[in-house]
Amino acid sequence: MDKVNIIPPGPGNPNNTPIIDPVGITRKFLDLSYTPDKPHPMRKLDLFLPEEGDGPFPVFIYMHGGGFTGGLKNDFHTAGYMDSLEEGFAYVSVEQRLCSPRPDGSFDPEGIFPNPLFDLKAAIRFLRANAAKYMLDPARFALMGTSAGGYHAAMAAATQDVQAMYDNTLGFGDVSGKVQAVIDLFGVGDLVLQAAYADKTSQDRGEGPGSRNIANVFFGAEVQRYPHLAYFANPETWVTPDLPPFLIRMGAADPLVPVECSRRLAKRIEEICGKERVEYDEFPDYVHGDQRFHEPANHRRMWDWIKEKLAL
């Protein structure tokens, strides 16, 4: 998108990943705290509006990936979905607590399950509570996530009627946290399945079991030792007939997230909700975060699906 500059890592950008400078977007609200009564440096979002019109605009909410340990709301991946503005959507990119790595090799426990899920739901409630202020349509929220973000998007939608999966102390507890459509791109799913896959791929590389096991980091324990607890962190567990429509897209050659995560979630939704509630696109040779997901035909598929589900 020509209205966004990409700033590579370096003196002007101390992060380890390129970040965006949305210099050419005039209607934007950056670093909004979505828990204003309980501020936190990672509970912030960026909101962009189409260049013209007074709304109310349907809302496209993006949750970044990063293996539960990294990623930023303004990293370069964010630019990949800014064509949502040209499609008439308000575009929101959300930050949340992460299991950020520490110098001693440990991870910040503030980002373990379910804290990031609580954060994402608080962001949804903030947006709906402030819909009039930011020219948003509170009845048309679409949520999309990639990788770890796909997990959070699926969990947020699947548990949107489960009060135990909200932290109302984060604010706007009387406001709905529901979304009307969900896109899960190469998302993590069942953490037990993810942990077993990570162990296998690590061993195949000669690194030993668990060396890249993001599921264990996020869960705060060895997932495969506590499958009955991990059951509550599995999106499949919470699928009900009231689930909003899902579009799940996955590459079968993904080396980081097992394709079975997406296959099983799609199958579960179909079993509980019917075939009309889920569409599953599988690409035989796509890898994790494959750039072909950004080909025009793939984006067209995504926008057309969202517009159909939001009745636009």
First to last CA, the chain: 24
- Element containing residue 268 per DSSP (H, E): helix 259-273
pLDDT exceeds cutoff 90 at 131: yes
Rg, C-alpha atoms of the chain: 18
Domain boundaries, the chain: 24-190+234-309, 195-231
Contacts of 295 (CB under 8 A, 6+ apart): none
pLDDT exceeds cutoff 70 at 206: no
pLDDT exceeds cutoff 70 at 58: yes
How far, in whole angstroms, is CA 185 from its chain's centroid? 9
Q: What is the pLDDT of residue 208?
A: 56
Nearest residue to 130 (alpha-carbon basis) of 34, 64, 54, 264: 34
pLDDT exceeds cutoff 60 at 209: no
Q: What is the pLDDT of residue 255?
A: 93
pLDDT digits (tens, 9 = 90+) for 277-304: 999 999 999 999 999 999 999 999 999 9
pLDDT digits (tens, 9 = 90+) for 215-260: 999 999 999 999 999 999 999 999 999 999 999 999 999 999 999 9
pLDDT exceeds cutoff 80 at 212: no
Superfamily of domain 24-190+234-309: Alpha/Beta hydrolase fold, catalytic domain (3.40.50.1820)
The DSSP-derived string for 225-260 is G-HHHHGGG-GGGG--TTPPPEEEEEETT-SSS-HH
pLDDT exceeds cutoff 80 at 1: no
Q: 7 forms bridges with which residues in the sheet?
A: 19
Q: What is the pLDDT of residue 203?
A: 66
Residue 24 has a CB neighbour count (10 Å cut-off) of: 12
Q: What is the pLDDT of residue 67?
A: 94
Mean pLDDT of 33-58: 97
Q: Average per-residue pLDDT in the chain?
A: 94
pLDDT digits (tens, 9 = 90+) for 138-153: 999 999 999 999 999 9
What percent of the chain clears pLDDT 70, i.e. is strictly above it? 96
Question: What phi and psi, each to the nearest 5 degrees, are found at residue 103?
Answer: -55, -30
Dist. CA 136–CA 204, nearest whole Å: 48
Mean pLDDT of 78-100: 96
